[in-house]
A and B are shown apart, each in its own frame.
Chain A
Amino acid sequence: MTGGDPILDIRGLATEFHTSRGPVRAVDGIDLSVGPGETVALVGESGCGKTTTAFSVLRLIPRHRGRVVAGEIRFDRLDLATLDERSLRRIRGNRIAMIFQDPASALNPLMTVGAQIAEAVRLHRGLGRAAARAETEALLRAVRIPEPRRRLDEFPHQLSGGMRQRVMIALALSCRPRLLIADEPTTALDVTVQAQILALIEELKQEFGMSVLLITHDLAVVAEVADRVAVMYAGRKVEEAPVSRLFAAPRHPYTRALLASIPDPDADTGGGAAAQPLPEIPGRVQPAGSRIEGCAFAERCAIAADICRQAAPPEALSGDGAAVFCHHAAPEDAGQIAAAVEGRL
């Protein structure tokens, strides 16, 4: 951890979606914190609740779709989970900004990119039309968009995917946020562009002095930029550790399975640290929401015992902020887990 009190501190967050068959819990009691200047990655397979967690922080889930039902989201001595709409709007896009998976659909097709950025600048910083335009141009320059003045008056469809994501980043940075939430920021982009965007985020993080909460399913990206990693499975956090430790010594069977299924980077021809597809793990993800008594991963776990199906695993803490939720996480079990995972794969 980079030190200091966390910028964002999530405690026991639970988020439900309304469905025709009643409420479905997509996020089920997550703890997560992001320190100043830190990049925390939230990883997991699609449908595990990581994007819902990100959306919950700014309460971006439309009211008719679902809502945060429990927990605290501490940001700057405020609780975003219960904050009134007005005050929350002053934080959105201002002190916490967000970028999304698909920049093609995240930008309004009928507005020029300049107008879309200027909208945020004028809203939060109270700048006039001309000043906002100048500031927008500076922002486009900051995200390394060539010919920023000309780009101001272009529409999203006139830009490439990478350029659009740069516009999204410029928009996110427009009010110098303290926290950037990046939801799969490179997934929809070409492989060659992915590395550029990641490098840009990293660079701007230093320059603007912000923290990053990175949502991704791509472990190669995690290895590249994250300081700390939290692994999610079926709406719950199963393991959290500093990035080097997680890759070196994963403790949860799920984490191990995830890591074990990444191809050896040395054997990879040319692609380097580019995105790896989601690893194949035996079994299917429990649909987030179906209530589980015991460990959510029990059904797919190679070493699951009776206790795993009966009781939720307790949090096993160790030093340096690492934690794991597994009945078999005691050090003496480590060898057994490793053997079982090897055997399965």
Chain B
Amino acid sequence: MRRSRILAYAGRRLLQAVPLILAVAVLNFLLLQIAPGDAAEVLAGEAGTATPEYMARLREEFGLDQPMHVQLWNMLLRLLQLDLGHSFRHGVPVLELILDRLPATLLLMLTTLGVSVLFGVLLGTLAARGANGVVDAIISVGAMIAYATPVFWIGLMMIVLFSVELRWLPSGGMTTITGDREGLALVADIAWHMILPVTTMSFFFIAIYCRIMRASVLNVMEEDYVTTARAKGLSELAILPRHTMRNALLPIVTLAGLHLSTLLGGSVLIETVFAWPGLGRLTFDAVFQRDLNLLLGILFVCSVLVVLMNLLVDLLYFWIDPRIEVD
């Protein structure tokens, strides 16, 4: 019964997402309007480098000589057909470029999120268990520093240390160029290349989750049900995962959901530093080449992605916290 209600809820939330996605599309349109100069020039990249024929094609394709509301309407119609336009620089449809790069970014993002939550939760619990002790102090100072360090800089320093000096890990890319690995060997190779970028991006998020988890565990430890568990005869070690940490985890889940869009932004920096062939790297290239149409397409797809992933997080929440009622 609960399951069918959750499904109904998911459907309702999907419907609610439609106006939100429309709003993102309008925002995209407005961004294009505030650009100085002819929109065709902006779309084409630096003015003057595009051929006159291409400019003409752009004007026609986007109906740039028509009134604003018509332009907006046309754009929405194109979106409905999943048409995000053409990348002048790459000479292919924007959506194709994005979908090509998306899996690599999702892999990096979700691994980072998993690693961050895991270590943040463990370190935060450790700090809370020894609150105000030496371990707590070390963890808290570490978190404070990690929270203040620019992620791209950590990445570069990791490369210096682990790739240049120690030669332990590859400095960039997703796979070894020379190898034509398959199956498990390929998976291992990708994992090998992920170690540095994932570690780098995790520092910041571990710092956040660690601090939240510490406070959360301290709160939960005062709850009556923890006393009940103790009165049952459970050891502190047995109480920790089943009673304390599980309840303390709830704010982390909320936060991790909110961080999905932060992670997408962070992937621009990480993928730039580590030459990771994902959306972030594509964004950097688009910035470098002033490929605005591609940039707007990335912004749009990322926003839609966040909407969808937030929905998943909501559903995850139902699974974790039975108290949540579906309406």
Contacts and interface: CB of A to CB of B under 8 A. Distances in A.
Asked whether A and B interact, the reply is yes
Interface of A: 58, 60, 62, 64, 85, 89-94, 97-98, 100, 102, 105-111, 116, 119-120, 123-124, 155, 157, 168, 171
Contact of B232 (A64, A155, A171): A171
A93 B221 CA distance: 19
A106 B224 contact: yes
A107 B225 contact: yes
Contacts of A106: 224-225, 227-228
Most chain B CB atoms below 10 A, which of A58, A106, A110, A155: A110
Interface of B: 131, 221, 223-225, 227-235, 242-243, 246-247, 320-323
Nearest to A63: B236
A97 B230 CA distance: 11
B322 A155 contact: yes
28 contacts: A60-B230, A60-B231, A85-B235, A89-B235, A90-B233, A92-B233, A93-B231, A93-B232, A94-B233, A100-B224, A100-B227, A106-B228, A107-B225, A108-B225, A108-B243, A108-B247, A110-B247, A110-B321, A110-B322, A111-B243, A119-B229, A119-B232, A119-B242, A120-B232, A123-B234, A157-B323, A168-B228, A171-B232
A24 B114 CA distance: 45
A92 B228 CA distance: 10
Most chain B CB atoms below 10 A, which of A64, A90, A91: A64
A120 B229 CA distance: 9
Nearest to B244: A108
B245 to A, nearest CB: 11
Contact of B231 (A58, A62, A111): A58
Contacts of A97: 231
Contacts of A123: 232-234
Nearest to B243: A108
A109 B247 contact: yes
A157 B228 contact: no
B300 to A, nearest CB: 38
A4 B172 CA distance: 79
A124 B233 contact: yes
B320 A110 contact: yes
A106 B235 CA distance: 17
